[in-house]
Amino acid sequence: MSTTAAGLSAQLAEARQFAVDAGRGDLAERLERASAALAERSDSVVAVVGEFKQGKSSLVNALLHTDLCPVDADVVTALPTILRFARPPAAFLISDGDRREPIEFAELPKHITGSDADPAPRAVEAGIDRRLLGAGLAVVDTPGVGGLDSAQGNLTLATLTTAGAALFVTDAAQELTAPEVDFLRRTRERCPRTFLVLTKTDLHVEWRRIASINEAHLKRAGLDVPIIGVSSFLRVRAHARDDTALNEESGFPRLVELLRREIVDADRSERIDSARAELGFVVAQLRDRLDAEESAADPRRAERYAERARRSAQLVTGTWQTVLGDGIQDLAADVDHDLRERLRLIIIRGEQLLAESDPRNTWQDFQAWAAREASRAAADNLMLLVARAEQLARDVADRFGMEAHDLSATLPAVGPAVHKARDLELDFQKSTMQQFLGAFTAARVAYGGFFVLGGVGALVGVAWAAPLGLLAGVAFGRRLVKAEKERQVQQRRHQAGQELRRYVDEVGFHVGRDSRESVRRTQRHLRDEFATRARELSRSAAAAEAAVRESVSLTGEQRRTRAATVAEQRRRLERLAP
């Protein structure tokens, strides 16, 4: 068994040829797709997250030997910046709906630190020629979390659902704070491969102690996250002077090694596993026909093969369809209800807040609060959708596996087929998810692009009625003025409440539309995936039956020649998937 991608794609090509020879164009097609997926450059996305001013952009710059991410004592990253491999270099502005518009490199910093373009772009992407990126890595520098606009944290978390790994950045100036640990925990939930990078180790004598204090904090919080200390400053200097020892001192080699081993290599072997699962599936189908031919002499078995062929035709519309149909309905209803419930709570809580204060004084805070809550609702709703979609995919795969297994179980285990039956059992029962869904990731299916949350804008400013002016002062007595003031506050509360409802409505509309779209996409993906397989299984069963009938009609001489061919073919398949 070959473990390299090259070896595997040779095997895929050979199996494809076999399938073509056997007249199974459908299986050949499947292998072509698997082979293309294996060869495709699919980058493992690493998101760099953390509070602002912890040195995230410096870390990305130093890691990739570039200065694309603007670094400043004050200015902060406002747009996510995606860095991936490209030759020649190119830069894009990404807006809603994954629209990409090429821009000049010189314009990058302007966009990253915040521009007032309308509609606001969602991200910028820069393609550069770096070995680490070439190995299959994409790095995303995200805006800092925890600033005045903490809606950003929720948006970052939503993005993480589709990232392969996360680097949580905190500097060596101090130990982790409670909000940081909380954010780290939520990051881990969405992205199991999370690492803690301790930056600015060059500035602080006691960084090793901070690292061990942090380790203790993480342990207490029940988070198993490795800590790597780095100095971006030293790495940059080392690169400028081509100084290996200094680079070693910067701590970066360990980080690079970690990224390669834990992320790039892990993702690659996942892709290989998924391609191998496809190969196994196809080989099992091809082998089935050979098994059938070998056992054709037994009339009882011939009967069984015919029976199976009849029943397999029903697999396309089998009970897995019901599981999928019901499941998707439940999922859609639950996700929708969850979103409504969250939005309803925002309105209730928001009205409480408004009732406690005069909106004219607190409007700015209130806007920030509403944006934060809305983005949190959207991010959590998304998390629910992804988790449920994953569960549904597993359920459908299980049911499908069961039905497919029932089919083959109708064949009595005789003679040489014994160990094959065991093989089948292994294939179908052990890891159905892997078997049928390969590297299926609900988040990637549900959301086409990397940026998932649209429509969570901000509450707009409200023009408040002018404060009680001159005329009122002249016309009314003090008491009346007071009553009038009170009335105006009520009026403002009412106005603010209206505005809040309008905003929440808007958010509900956009997020709801996105999530319905995601549900549909998930449904289509799963239905196509399993229907195709069902047709393939059914065709295999038909082919096996045909082979049985054919071999019954053979003369003694023909049968001997045929047996030799079958043995030869079996050896070929054995080599592909023992």
CB of residue 360 to other proteins, shortest distance in Å: 8
Strands 137-141 and 81-85, bridge-based pairing: antiparallel
Closest CA to 34 of 236, 371, 271: 271
Nearer to other proteins, 206 or 568 (CB): 206
Cα→Cα distances 272→1, 32, 262, 429, Å = 12, 14, 15, 20
> Closest approach of Cβ 159 to other proteins, in Å?
20
Distance spanning both ends of the chain, measured CA to CA: 8
Distance in angstroms (rounded) separating the CA atoms of residues 254 and 118: 42
Contact in structure between 124 and 112 (CB atoms under 8 Å): yes
Q: From the CB of 177, what's the least distance to other proteins, in Å? A: 5
DSSP H stretches of helix in 259-318: 266-294, 299-312
For other proteins, give the closer residue by CB, 364 or 429.
364
> Around Cβ 441, how many Cβ atoms within 10 Å?
17
Return the sign of the alpha-carbon dihedral for residues 525, 528, 530, 536. Answer: negative
C-alpha to C-alpha distances, 347 to 316, 370, 440, 457, 502, nearest whole angstrom: 46, 9, 37, 16, 10
Closer by beta carbon to other proteins, 469 or else 556:
469
Angstrom distance (rounded) from CA 380 to CA 338 = 9
Instruction: Mention every residue, 6+ apart, whose C-beta is less than 8 A from residue 440.
Output: 393, 433
Q: Smallest gap, in angstroms, from Cβ of residue 100 to other proteins?
A: 33
CB of 282 to other proteins, least distance (A): 53
Nearer to other proteins, 365 or 574 (CB): 365
Order of strands, sheet of 194-199, starting from the edge strand that comes earlier in the sequence: 99-103, 90-95, 123-128, 81-85, 137-141, 44-50, 165-171, 194-199, 227-229
The least distance separating other proteins from the CB of residue 505, rounded to whole angstroms, comes to 26
Distance CA 380, CA 155 (A): 10
Rounded-to-integer distance, Cα 385 and Cα 511, Å: 12
User: Which residues are 123's β-sheet partners?
Assistant: 94
CB closer to other proteins, 73 vs 106: 73
Residue placing its CB nearer to other proteins in the complex, 249 or 395: 249
Q: How far is the CB of 280 from other proteins (least distance, A)?
A: 48
Q: Which is nearer to other proteins, 173 or 316 (CB)?
A: 173
Tokens of 229: 């200390």
Chain residues binding other proteins by CB under 8 A are 51-53, 72-74, 146-148, 150, 173-179, 181, 200-207, 209-210, 213, 217, 220, 231, 233-234, 237, 249, 361, 364-365, 467-470, 472-473, 481
Q: Minimum distance from CB of 10 to other proteins (Å)?
A: 50
How far is CA 23 from each of CA 3, 15, 17, 175, 543, rounded to the nearest angstrom? 29, 12, 10, 65, 9
Report how far residue 93's alpha carbon sits from residue 40's, in angstroms, rounded to the nearest whole number.
Answer: 24
The Cα-based distances of 490 to 244, 355, 477, 493, 547 in angstroms read 68, 9, 20, 5, 84
The H or E element spanning position 127 is strand 123-128
C-alpha distances out from residue 570 to 383, 555, 559, 563, Å: 47, 22, 16, 10
| Nearest approach, Cβ of residue 152 and other proteins (Å) | 10
Q: Of the two residues 76 and 296, which places its CB atom closer to other proteins in the complex?
A: 76
Task: Select 73 or 463, whichever has its Cβ closest to other proteins.
Answer: 73
- What SS3 state is found at 221? coil
Smaller CB separation from other proteins, 71 or 577: 71
Query: Smaller CB distance to other proteins: residue 190 or 200?
Result: 200
- Interatomic CA distance for residues 254 and 228, integer angstroms: 8
As measured in angstroms, the least distance from the Cβ of 57 to other proteins is 13
Cβ of residue 512: shortest distance to other proteins, in angstroms? 28
CB of 466 to other proteins, least distance (A): 9
Q: Are 541 and 285 in contact (CB under 8 A)?
A: no
**Minimum gap (Å) between residue 209 Cβ and other proteins:** 5
In the bound state with other proteins, the residue whose beta carbon lies nearer, of 53 and 349, is 53
Beta carbon nearer to other proteins, 101 or 206: 206
- Indicate the residue among 157 and 284 with the shorter CB distance to other proteins: 157
CB contact at 8 A, 432 and 323 = no
Shortest distance (Å) from residue 182 CB to other proteins? 10
